[in-house]
Chains A and B, each alone.
Chain A
């Protein structure tokens, strides 16, 4: 642990200052408002999301955290009447803009959903087609990426002998890790997780949590969760949402031990929500 910390420090010192600042935040949210028709679901939030860290979004149901998450890779475009105002800057580009190619965006900002949703195909067939669609046609290259992403998702050892069996034969936890592998295969920079383990048993849940912590060295992760312990275990920063407002956003440790806003404390201690 100590050596790891030391290592990180030395790395930080070698990186030029401008790179360091640039690499600090992967996303900058400015005054984001999201509407469903007339109804406003997110009321002008602003926050920075750090690169290579896990950011947890917590709050009671209907507080706007999932709506916010789904706007980061424009999944809200699917909902008729949903629209977003304000800015989400990604590499200095407002990804809410009309000019954004959402298909390209979603390759870089991947998403894993609440309920494991593998395609009714083989395990291999859950990963390869999207790669092919992205233009990778060589069988050996495809095989490599499939293996690499399954390894990263800590699923390779469990499924390597049955890659061509139906993905639906996997357990719920394995299915969810397959969904994560499928997302990793696209080589995203950001992974959005929408309550990824709420439908899983405790053991699968623990595996998925380990995986998330492990993944942050390569990816920036934003996770919506209902589970306060989960947020405190795996996230670096935590944002607390209530009725569409961002109430408090700080280091996870700070939020869970010494929140500045009373509402946050009440929520965390289970007084409502």
Chain B
């Protein structure tokens, strides 16, 4: 500590001071960041090339793959590789479950922020957090042992159906929508409410005419995030949807989604076979959809910033 050295030697950067723990620490955390980037790139590249193999190597037509409803990869004489029924199934359960969960989730959010802000949040918030915590196989299992028989006996059909899948998914994405919607509505500036009440509007008018429009981009984000979760959910849906290869004609028909077919067949098919490769192509669709959801959310948030 004695300052006998001239300032140059004390204060200028030297080789030793560059190689101290500082640079080592920085290197470690940069490495962690690099691992995240490489994981993302690796996933995209590996699943991308593997997913394209059925088209490039096995000569399956992309058009047939996406538009044909004939899924019969094991038929030696006349194989069919159309996954349209599964794409349809995925979109159907996604939209239907969002249709059920969005009003409930946004309603719950409004209840917490507007109707009973003092105690509603204290009750509903933990409820929502616990719903998130329940593992998806447990949702699937309860769907299978409670919902399937219930629908079979009271509504009709086999019980394994689009409807059952929709209900299970709706419950699973409800917490996502509720949480984000609550944040969105409670972060609205209070002068919006006060202004509306000052004009003599009732609470419902304030909610409908002022709060919901103001929070709309965030509410849409909440719904999209819920849909992204529904689209990618595999096991819970697989346990209740019936997994048939036909295009469903009614909501009570058994059906299948991209994820359920992958879940069901990945383990049973020979790695590298045409059938197996088409499963990877379905996985690629999931990956692309997951990118699409991100882009959609980014678009919405950029619109939110413009306001």
Question: Is there any pair of Cβ atoms, one from A and one from B, under 8 angstroms apart in the complex?
Answer: yes
Whether B7 pairs with A93 at a CB distance below 8 angstroms is: yes
Chain A window 86-121, contacts with chain B (Cβ cutoff 8 Å), 1 for yes, 0 for no:
000011110100011101110010000000000000
Q: Given the known inter-chain contacts A103-B17, A104-B17, please indicate yes or no for A90 contacting B12, CB distance below 8 A.
A: no
A-B contact count (CB 8 A): 33
Quick check: B1 and A101 within 8 Å, CB to CB?
no
Task: Decide if B268 is an interface residue (CB 8 Å cutoff).
Answer: no
**B1-34 interface mask toward A, CB cutoff 8 Å, 1 = contact, 0 = none?**
1010011101111100100001000000000000
**Given the interface contacts A93-B11, A95-B11, A104-B11, does A187 sit within 8 Å of B17 by beta carbon?**
no
Q: Is the CB of B13 within 8 A of A101?
A: yes
Give the CA-CA distance A103 to B16 in the complex, in Å. 13
Q: Residue of A at shortest CB range from B14?
A: A101
Q: Select B7's contact among A90, A103, A187, beta carbons within 8 Å.
A: A90
Compute how far the CA of A90 lies from the CA of B8 in the bound complex, rounded to whole angstroms. Answer: 10
The one of A108, A134, A187 that contacts B11, using a Cβ cutoff of 8 Å: A108
Residue total for B at the interface (Cβ-Cβ under 8 A): 12
CA distance A100 to B14 in the complex (A): 9
Chain B: minimal CB distance from A113 (Å): 23
**A134 and B10 contacting across the interface, CB-CB below 8 Å:** no
CA distance in complex: A150, B13 (Å): 31
Contact indicator A92/B13 (Cβ below 8 Å): no
Chain B residues with CB under 8 A of A101: 11-14, 17
Q: Which residue of A lies closest to B13 (CB)?
A: A101
The CA of A136 and the CA of B2, in the complex, are separated in Å by: 12
Smallest beta-carbon distance B226→chain A, Å: 35
Complex partner residue of A104 from B6, B10, B22, CB under 8 angstroms? B10
B7 contacts across to A, CB distance below 8 A:
90-93
For A103, list chain B residues within 8 Å (CB): 17, 22
- Given A90-B7, A92-B7, A104-B17, A99:B1 Cβ within 8 A: no
Give the CA-CA distance A99 to B12 in the complex, in Å.
Answer: 6
**Cβ-neighbour of A134 out of B1, B12, B14, B22 (below 8 A):** B1
Q: Do the beta carbons of A187 and B13 come within 8 Å of each other?
A: no
Choice from A90, A99, A134 contacting B13 with Cβ under 8 Å? A99
Whether the Cβ atoms of B17 and A93 lie closer than 8 Å is no
Contacts of A93 in B (CB 8 A): 7-8, 11-12
Among B1, B3, B11, the most chain A Cβ lie within 10 Å of the Cβ of: B11
* Contacting pair B11 A105 (CB below 8 A): yes
State whether A108 and B17 are in contact (beta carbons under 8 Å apart), knowing that A134-B1, A187-B1 are contacts in the complex: no
* Contact A100 B1, beta carbon cutoff 8 Å: no
Complex Cα gap A90–B10 (Å): 12
Identify the 6 closest CB pairs spanning chains A and B, nearest first. Answer: A91-B7, A101-B13, A93-B7, A101-B17, A99-B12, A104-B11
A-B contact pairs, 21 of them (CB 8 A): A90-B7, A91-B6, A93-B7, A93-B12, A95-B11, A99-B13, A100-B11, A100-B12, A101-B11, A101-B12, A101-B13, A101-B17, A103-B22, A104-B10, A104-B17, A105-B11, A108-B10, A108-B11, A134-B1, A187-B1, A189-B3
